[in-house]
Each structure stands twice: as structure tokens, then as C-alpha cells.
Amino acid sequence: MAAALEIKNLAVVYQGVIQALSSLSLRVPAGSIVALLGANGAGKTTTLKAISGFLPLQDGRITHGTITIGGEDTSALAPHMIVRRGIFHVREGRHVFGEMTVEENLIAATFAQRKSRPRKVAFDEVYGYFPILSQRRGQQAGYLSGGEQQMLAIGRALVADPEMILLDEPSLGLAPLIVRDIFQIVEQINRDKKVSILLVEQNAVIALKYASYGYVIENGRTVLEGSAAELSANEDIQKFYLGVD
Ligand SMILES: Nc1ncnc2c1ncn2[C@@H]1O[C@H](COP(=O)(O)OP(=O)(O)OP(=O)(O)O)[C@@H](O)[C@H]1O
Ligand SMILES: [Mg+2]
């Protein structure tokens, strides 16, 4: 399958000295779900920030390597240009606007739409996937549960109608049943809308259940890759990420 996103030998430095990535490579074929696994500090979020153009906002810089989206080198583009190319970054920790209502949060995401479509159509799509958000549409987002905030963060991505969603640790701090619900909906979105998903997770069990392919990074470099079945069967993965003795 054609690669919607391809990263080759990426190196990233923060503040001119902190080497967060040294040689990271991965590809996300169009329409697929690909998992990016790794321990705390491995460089997962940095990889997503490099793709979405957020690095310069945190004094981070790409020093080596390439990022291509649909064959075009996008490594020097600003975030709003990346969004226009159909990539939407759902950040670690959700970052919903807590003082605003659910619906106002969705309205705020309309800036990222590539093609204008009536708000009602976009919002009905979000509410179709996440009916609980419809019930809560007039409530302040800051008072939603963690799971509902994660749904809202993904809902904002849907409003933008992207080709690819970069999803950073959606399971963080959520109860297993909620995590399962959210992943099932993400899978449905992937299937219905052919949206590719680059899924960053520390929870390898759930990530490898929904992804078709995965990469493991350590200290800013890709150390292992394979199909979800291969990675699930890998002894190192079982020991370090799946909690199997
Ligand atoms: N804004 C920043 N300034 C300086 N160093 C940073 C910054 N962001 C991340 N780093 C460093 O870069 C390395 C990779 O961090 P990153 O956030 O990408 O890891 P991660 O794999 O997402 O970890 P986690 O699972 O904890 O979210 C870490 O050593 C981190 O301390
Ligand atoms: Mg992270």
C-alpha cells in the first residue's frame, strides 16, 4: 500500500543539546492503523510533534532525516500547513478547552477544516460516533470525565475531517472498559472513513490488538518493527511491554 506518511532516519534536538530522536524511521500506509510503542521518554510524542510541525514551538529542531506526507517533504512546514495536508494531531493529555462547552470545543476545531462543510453535518458525525457528547453538548468540557474528554479530543479531529490522525496515548489514565470503547470507535472511524491512524501507546496490549503493524522505539531510535502478530509473539515485547514473565 502507498505510504501516506514516511519518516526516514529522523533526528530531533531540543534546546540545541537534548537529543530526543537520533534515528527514527517508520511508515504509515494509507488507511492503516500503525502503533508506535516505547517506554517513557523514548521519543514517541516527539515523533508526533515532528510530524505535525509543533517542534519549533518548544525549541525543538529536526537536525537530520526526512518526513514525507503523500510523497511531499513536509519537515519544514508550520502546523497550519500540516493540518491542511490532512494530518490532525490529538495531543497527549487531551487538551480540551475546559472553560468552553463541548460544542464550543467542536466549533473551535472548524478552523482546521480543509473543505468547508456545514457545522451541523460535522457535529452530527461526531455525535454519531460519540452519543454521550451529544448529551453533554452544552456542558463545560472541564467537567467531563477523562474518557469523555478523550472522546471530545477525537471528536475535534473528526470535525477537521482529516486523512490521518496522530493519536497520542488515548488510554492514559482511563479504565479498561472505557479504553476498549474508545478503541472500538477509533477502529470504526478508520474503517468507515479510511482515516489512517498513527497510534502512540504505552499500553502495547491494546495497541497491538487494533493496529496492523507496529514499531518499537528506544532512546529515540526504531529498534523493532513488524506486524501486530509478530510483535505480540516477540519475547522481548512480551517481557517489557506485555508483562509476561
Ligand atoms: N520540550 C522539550 N524540551 C526539552 N526536552 C524535551 C522536551 N520534550 C521532550 N523532551 C525530552 O525528549 C525525550 C523524549 O520525550 P518524549 O516526550 O518524546 O517521550 P515519550 O516517548 O512521548 O514519553 P512518554 O511516554 O513519557 O510520553 C525525553 O528525554 C524528554 O525529556
Ligand atoms: Mg509522550
Tally of domains within the chain: 2
Q: Which of 162, 189, 211 is the endpoint of a domain? A: 162
Phi then psi dihedrals of residue 141, to 5 deg: -65, -30
Whether residue 44 has its Cβ less than 6 Å from ligand 1: yes
* 37 alpha carbon, closest ligand: 1
Nearest CA to ligand 1 atom 24: 40
Nearest CA to ligand 1 atom 7: 14
- Per-residue cell: 122: 460535522
Whether residue 36 has its Cβ less than 6 Å from ligand 1: no
| Same domain, yes or no: 116 and 17 | no
Tens-binned pLDDT, residue by residue, of the chain (245 aa): 566 999 999 999 999 999 999 999 999 999 999 999 998 999 999 999 999 999 999 999 999 999 999 999 999 999 999 999 999 999 998 899 999 999 999 999 998 888 888 999 999 999 999 999 999 999 999 999 999 999 999 999 999 999 999 999 999 999 999 999 999 999 999 999 999 999 999 889 999 999 999 999 999 999 999 999 999 998 888 777 766 65
| Same domain, yes or no: 130 and 192 | no
Give the domain range for residue 187: 1-86+163-245
Q: Are 152 and 94 in contact (CB under 8 A)?
A: yes
CATH code for position 6: 3.40.50.300
| Same domain, yes or no: 114 and 12 | no
Q: Which of 145, 162, 179 is the endpoint of a domain? A: 162
- Per-residue cell: 225: 518493527
Strand order from edge to edge, sheet including 213-218: 72-73, 60-69, 3-14, 18-29, 221-227, 213-218, 33-37, 196-201, 164-168, 87-90
| Same domain, yes or no: 11 and 31 | yes
Whether residue 52 has its Cβ less than 6 Å from ligand 1: no
